[in-house]
Chains A and B, each alone.
Chain A
Amino acid sequence: MKKFLFVICFLCLTAASIFAQGSSEVEMATELRSSGKIYVVVAVLAAIFIGLAFYLFSIDNRLKKIEKQQK
């Protein structure tokens, strides 16, 4: 019985140390994401890219007009 308890305790301790390592080892921006502010950055970047995409489309359309005039 004593041996069994010892083994259980040992397993618990090793498991705890593994979990502790897993949580404190690498610094990631979990807090930044959980506070919700990262969505603002994503929205800004998406807005910039959509704007550029529309700009490309407008250049494309202008070119199409010029190409039609040439024909």
Chain B
Amino acid sequence: MNKSWWKILAIVLVLFSIIGGFLFHVPAKPILNESIRNIHFHVPMWFAMITMLAVSFVYSIKYLNKGNENDDLMAVESANVGIVFGILGLITGMIWANFTWGEPWSNDPKQNSSAIALLIYMAYLVLRNSMDEEQKRGKISSVYNVFAFPIMVVLLFVLPRMTDSLHPGNGGNPGFNTKDMAPELRPVFYPACLGWILVSLWITNLRFRIRKQENLNS
């Protein structure tokens, strides 16, 4: 994890997505116009959030299995970074929606459920910070986290796709379905997602190491 090649890769991928996302050809569609380029910046925020929350889920299970305190710290810090990226995803989505759907919040099923998912994870942080004793805190918050992750997956990937949504990809995954996304967007979109996932992993890694130092000193 302390090797720097993947950090450089993260920067190169995101830089490529900034350059390609602005300059490459995109399909011309009414209403969307040039704002389709947002797909290279708004959607990767959610990919990063989901990956960090998955990391948090895995480390919570690890903590419950082995009881190693570092696993608990990793679970908290990845959830922290995941929430930050989720908030960025909400804000960028609201800006985009304001100009394409007419209002920042149109009670779209995916908007609502992503807000609920974020609240569930904020409750995780509140729950964790409300306890002082380390083992009790670690165990209770890990159990909560293990339940929170599948609820988040259902809220973001299952429920919105069972009803009509303004988001593309009802009944499928718009990122990977050949019909839902124009092929010329993909060479920029996938590197952008991977790049932002790596950036979020990097920030999580930094926060985890700081937390570990704080833990040693206290």
Q: Enumerate B3-44 residues with CB–CB distance to A below 8 Å.
A: 4, 7, 11, 14-15, 18-19, 22-23, 26, 28-30, 33-34
Report the minimal beta-carbon distance from B178 to chain A, rounded to whole angstroms. Answer: 22
Instruction: Give Cα A60–Cα B30 distance, bound, in whole angstroms.
Output: 45
Give B contacts to A, CB under 8 Å.
Answer: 2, 4, 7, 11, 14-15, 18-19, 22-23, 26, 28-30, 33-34, 202-203, 206, 209-210, 213, 216
Instruction: Give Cα A70–Cα B215 distance, bound, in whole angstroms.
Output: 12
Tell me if B11 and A63 are in contact (CB < 8 A): no
Give A contacts to B, CB under 8 Å.
Answer: 25-29, 33, 38-39, 41-42, 45-46, 49-50, 53, 56-57, 59-60, 63-64, 66-67, 70
Residues A29 and B206 in contact in the complex (CB < 8 Å), given A46-B19, A57-B7, A66-B213: no
Instruction: Give Cα A33–Cα B19 distance, bound, in whole angstroms.
Output: 13
Closest chain B residue to A60, Cβ basis: B206
27 of the cross-chain contacts (CB-CB < 8 Å) are A26-B28, A26-B33, A28-B28, A28-B34, A29-B33, A33-B23, A38-B22, A39-B23, A42-B18, A42-B23, A45-B18, A45-B22, A46-B15, A49-B11, A49-B15, A50-B11, A50-B15, A56-B7, A57-B4, A59-B206, A60-B7, A60-B206, A63-B206, A63-B210, A64-B2, A70-B213, A70-B216
Contacts of A28 in B (CB 8 A): 26, 28, 33-34
Residues A25 and B30 in contact in the complex (CB < 8 Å), given A57-B7, A67-B209: yes
Instruction: Give Cα A37–Cα B28 distance, bound, in whole angstroms.
Output: 20
Tell me if A42 and B33 are in contact (CB < 8 A): no
Contacts of B22 in A (CB 8 A): 38, 41-42, 45
Tell me if B202 and A56 are in contact (CB < 8 A): yes
Tell me if A26 and B202 are in contact (CB < 8 A): no
Contacts of A39 in B (CB 8 A): 23
